[in-house]
Every structure is written in C-alpha cells, then in structure tokens.
Structure 1
Amino acid sequence: MSTLLALDASSSACSCAVWHKGEVTSRFALTPREHTRRLMPMIDEVLAEAGLQPDDLDALAYGRGPGSFTGLRIAAGVAQGLAFGLDRPLLGVSTLEALALAAHRRYHLRYVIPALDARMNEIYVAAYHCQDGSLNRVLDEAVMPPDRLRVPSDRQDADWCGVGSGWTLWEAMPTLVQAALSQRLPDMQPDAADMVRLAAKAFDAGEGQAAHEVIPVYLRDQVAWQKR
C-alpha cells in the first residue's frame, strides 16, 4: 500500500496529511497569511507522528486549486521542491473535489455543490454525485458570478448540499438553486486529509507525474485585477 504526503494552502486554512497503511495522520489550522511559516513545521509533525522519514514517501500531492492564487503558489512550490528533492512523483488534487469528499465522508451527503469565494463577485464551483466513497463530477469546474449558477438539469430533484466559502454569497444565488439545496455548510475549507485520500487512489491508478508537469489550476486566467 502506498505512502503519500499531501499539503494544502488554497484557502485561509493550512493543512498537511500523510496516508500510510490506509490511515491518515493530519494537521489543520486556520492561519490566514501565515501559510509559508506554518506549512513546513506541519509536514515535520505529521511525518514524525506517523513514524516516517521523507524517504519513506512514495509520492506527494497538493491542493492544485482553484483557490487563493498566493496560497496555490506556496503549496505548489513546497510540493514541487520536495518531489524534486526526493525524486518522487507529484499529484495535484482539486480543492473542490476535496470539499465534496469531506461532505460525503463526514455527513454522508450524496449530492454536493462545492463552491469557493473567488472574489471579484465570482465563485469557483463544481458539482458531484458521491456514492460509497467515490465521486462522479456532474458539473465541470468553473468560475462564474453566483447568479449564473445552475443545478445540473438531469438532477434537479436531487437533495443537494452546498459546501465551502462560495455559499456566503447565498443571497446572490438564483432562486432555483436556493430551492434545490436542503442545507449549506459555508464554513468548510479544503483539507489535506481529504486530498491525501484522493491522491492515494489516483496514485494507485498510475496517475503520478513528474514534479515539473503538475501546475496549479486557477480557472481564472486573470490573476491580477485593478478597478478602473
């Protein structure tokens, strides 16, 4: 069974997790603007708690986005540096997929719309049908104004749940979307503990890549914006 390290800095939270012998050892903290300072000590802590050395890792993973541009670059830089140094493959894990898995694992939710606040009055969003630990994406990842969001047309009668910071823009969502949701969990943040589970499955399926081939996914091409 593979041994992986995953890390994430895509939101105001900073997290790190190890997958070893089917068990997860993790750290999670809300640390806005302190990701650079907190990430490396977290890595040392989870490896020590799991009784591992860096050379024991089979692969590394990180939250590849969408999310905070600065946070994604921090996580990518650390993950790529470790992967290069250890000569190990690297995997990028969707932050939206990790949110969907978290909702499914913790609350047994089957239909999940993860959304993150993208600023500039936009959200990063996707939708998943979750069953028995597996995720089927039914709405591709996108960035859009919240009033453009639509529930997948072939699943409008499903019991949907919205998770992530994008749902703080609830008032701007279309009434049909509001009516489709049975609950919202806007405080949930992407977590490496979920990413490492997704990464382990992907790695076992042969999806690891060379470190230089794995890049962040911003969704929004424009990473800097100024008001006119």
Structure 2
Amino acid sequence: MTQTVLLALDTSTEFCSVALLSAVGGAASQTADQGNAEPRIWMRHEQTGAVSSTRLLPAIRELFDEAGLKLADCHAIAFGSGPGSFTGLRTATGVAQGLAFGLNLPVVPVSTLLACAESARLRDPSATRVLAALDARMDEIYWADYAWDAALGEWRTLQAASLDAPERLVLPDVPFTLAGNAAAAFGARLPAVAAARTVDGEALPHAVPLAHAALRAFRAGRTVPADQAAPEYIRDKVAQTTAERVAEKAAKAEQAARVAHEADQGEGRQ
C-alpha cells in the first residue's frame, strides 16, 4: 500500500481555500469509493476577499506543520483552474506552478464547477447528476452538467463549462441537483431552480472537494507538467469597455424613461 500526499489550492472566489490530503491506496485506478481507506485531510478556508495571494503561502505552511509533513513529501499539486475570478485564478495557477517547478511535481488542474459537483456528492451521496452553476457577474452564469459513474468511480462531463445568460441554462431530463450560488444570485430567472430535485447553494468551489477529485485524477494519470498548467477563464474579458458601459447606461436610461412615460399615460387614462 502506498501513500499519496496531495496539496489542493483554490482562490477562484473571495475565499482562500487550501487542503492537504494524505491517502493510502493500492492500485493507481482505485479510489476511496472502491474500498481504500478514507484520506486524511487538513484544510484552511478563509474569506480573504481580493488579498488571497497574501494568505495562500502562509496557509500552506500551516497545513504541512499541522500534518507533520514536508513539502518534499508531496506527490502532486492541484488547483482550481476556473472558471472564476480572473485574479484569483492567476494566483492559484502561479502558486501551483511555482511549487510544482521547485519540487519537480505534476500538476492537477480541476474545474471549479467540477469541485461544486464533487462538493454536492460529498454532502449528499444521492447527488449523482449535478448541474453546477456559478454567478459569473455581468448578468451571466458559468455552468456545466455532470453525471457520476459509479462503475468507474468518476464524474462524466455531459456539458463542458459554458458561459450563458441564466435563462439559457440547459436542464437535464432526469432528476438533478443544482449546485453553486447561481440560484441565490438569479432566483426565478434560473429555470433550474424550480426544476431541480435539490438546490445545494453550499456546494461551492472549495479545496476539500477539489482535493478528492484531484486524487482520482492523479491516480488515473490525468496530470500536466507545471509549465502547461493554465487557468480556464471561459469568459474572454473581465469587464466591459468604456463604450459598452456608456451604451448600457444609455439603454437603461432610455428604458427607465419609456417606463415612466407609459406610467404617465396610464395615469392619464384613469
């Protein structure tokens, strides 16, 4: 039986999330779901806002000290590759790359949407079909559709990470769990809220479910060299241009004027 030590990082949201996982297993293809002992996990998950970069390395040191392990004991570095905050994704990617380069370790990129699906399943084992949806700002959502394959002990991606208006989310034709914060952000505008078997608004990007998913990926050989680790932005731009902001403001003003005019006409007819 061999021990696997894996470090997982996620700064895709306003949280700085770090997990250190130590697992004992047999064959590389096996997972805890297939009979191996549950891994030991140490973690930090702290709301740091835009300054996750200042907290990430200290949190990593704390976890290794707490676990009685050293960075040299690590077998792989995993990180939340996105989608999410552009700055946060760059932070996690850069730290994962730096540590992996220094230790000559492979890197395991894990989608933040897959981490949401993994979180939902860890919280509710019956959550085997998960629609993960996160608020992408700018009146859009990041979303993906996953099905848990019990025979393989792994998620199958039915719809890769996408960016759409909330109303354009494609619903599964079977009972599903809606994971992520899009339900809280958009409410009834998100058709999946009414259609879902369960809405799990707490199933968010977090280093612990990310570490569980990364362990399976590592054992299956789904890793990349440090120099090939990259964020998955999904959206091509982080903000509107000045012209777009001016146009949007004008459109909103025009709409407000039209609503006011229609209200005045309605009062005049009374």
TM-score (norm 1): 0.91
2:91 — aligned with what? 74
**Which structure 2 segments of 5+ residues have no match?**
24-38, 247-270
User: How far apart are residue 171 of structure 1 and its match?
Assistant: 2.3
Question: Cα distance, 1:216 vs. partner?
Answer: 0.3
Q: In the alignment, which residue of structure 2 is the partner of 1:119?
A: 137
Match of residue 215 from structure 2: 200
Alpha-carbon contact 2:188-2:194 (below 8 Å) kept: no
Q: 1:206 and 1:47 mapped to 2: Cα distance?
A: 24
Q: CA RMSD in A?
A: 1.6
| CA shift for structure 1 position 179 | 3.5
- TM alignment of 1:130-145, pairs within 5 A: 130=148, 132=150, 134-145=154-165
**How far has the Cα of 1:16 moved from its partner?**
0.6
- Within 2, Cα distance between the matches of 1:131 and 1:90? 24
**Bigger Rg, which one:** 2
Where 1:159 maps in the other structure, the secondary structure is: coil
The alignment covers a number of residue pairs equal to 222
2:50 equivalent to 1:30: no
CA deviation after TM superposition for structure 1 residue 215, in Å: 0.3
1:149 to partner: Cα distance: 0.7
Q: Give distance in 2, aligned partners of 1:188 and 1:197.
A: 14
Q: 1:129 is aligned with what amino acid?
A: A
Question: TM-score, length-normalised on structure 2?
Answer: 0.78
Once the 2 structures are TM-superposed, how far is the Cα of residue 130 of structure 1 from its aligned partner?
2.5
In structure 2, give the amino acid aligned to 1:119.
R
In the other structure, the counterpart of 1:107 is: 124
Which residue identity does 2:197 align to in structure 1?
S
Shift of 1:30: 2.1
Structure 1 segment 217-228 matched on structure 2, within 5 A: 217-226=232-241, 227-228=245-246
The structure in which a higher percent of residues are helix is 2
2:18 is matched with 16
1:19 offset after TM fit, Å? Answer: 1.6
SS of 1:119's partner is coil
Higher RCO (CA-CA < 8 Å; seq separation 6+): 1
* Alignment partners' CA distance in 1, 2:118 and 2:162: 18
Shift of residue 59, structure 1, vs aligned partner: 1.1
Q: For 2:166, which of 137, 143, 146 is the aligned residue? A: 146
Report what 1:4 is aligned to: 6
Letter in 2 for 1:69: F
1-structure distance, mates of 2:4, 2:164: 37
Aligned to 2:26: none
